[in-house]
Structure 1
């Protein structure tokens, strides 16, 4: 599941950004109780994008921020409790790895749901059903 973290430059070192991305991926796996899934582990992918401090905005003015965005199939985060838990945990992960250089109010976490049948992995377009089966078979 692609994870993109967009963060203002200077809030975190590259080493801590790598650890933060890894921790967010692990939080996703743990949240869905698939931490050891052979299909999912290699498909936790993504990047950390550092943005110039003059090019990140909140309240219509330049401001430090962190945005954690996942692209996921529509069957993920099936309950509000699961969503609440994930957002809370990821916010704490960002706060921990940035060492107090950003306020909680400047951290956003969201998920974008992929269109049914257009979840491509290794050249194959999976439907939600096929993706679910692949995850189950790899348990």
Structure 2
């Protein structure tokens, strides 16, 4: 489940980027009761992309921003409540990591859903049902 955090250089100190990413990972897992799930935990991947100041924009003008993007199967964050929790709490994590350098109104979030059967992990294509089975098997084994 790729998480991509895109931030303007200088907003989140390098030593805080990994912590923010870990918190986002924990948030995604906890929203679904999957903390510690041996299949799902290593499947939450991603990166922090730092864009040079002056190369991020709002209303067409150079502005510092943060963008939180998440791609998941359609059964993840499937309810309005889960979507809202991911966006609100994810924004909180980024705002805290920026230590006052970024106004909340410059933090944006996006959730995209992968096509059923188009999800690949370790070279294997998974349908939503296959993913659900793998997650449940890992939960049962714990």
Q: TM-score, with normalisation over the residues of structure 2?
A: 0.95
Structure 1: unaligned runs, 5 residues or longer? none
Q: Which runs of 5+ in 2 are unaligned?
A: none
Deviations 1:38-82 (A, max 9, x none): 101111111000001111011111110000101100111121111
Secondary structure at the residue paired with 1:54? coil
For 1:89, the equivalent position in structure 2 comes to: 89
Superposed CA offset, 1:96-135 (max 9, x none):
1110100100001111111111100011000111011101
Matched residue, 1:15: 15
Pairwise mapping of residues 49-88 of structure 1 onto structure 2 (< 5 A)? Answer: 49-88=49-88
Q: Which residue of the partner structure matches residue 101 of structure 1? A: 101
CA distance in structure 1 between the partners assigned to 2:26 and 2:11 by the alignment: 22
The two structures have a TM-score, normalised by structure 1, of: 0.97
Counterpart CA distance in 2 for 1:112 and 1:15 is 28
Deviation at 1:83, TM superposition (A): 1.0
After TM superposition, give the deviation of residue 9 of structure 1 in Å.
0.1
- Secondary structure of 1:125 counterpart: strand
What is the alpha-carbon distance in structure 1 between the residues aligned to residue 9 and residue 103 of structure 2?
A: 15
The DSSP-based 3-state class of the residue aligned with 2:78 is coil
Runs of 4+ in 1 over 4 A off after TM superposition: none
Equivalent residue pairs, number: 139
Distance 2:4 2:138 in 1: 25
SS in 1 for 2:21: helix
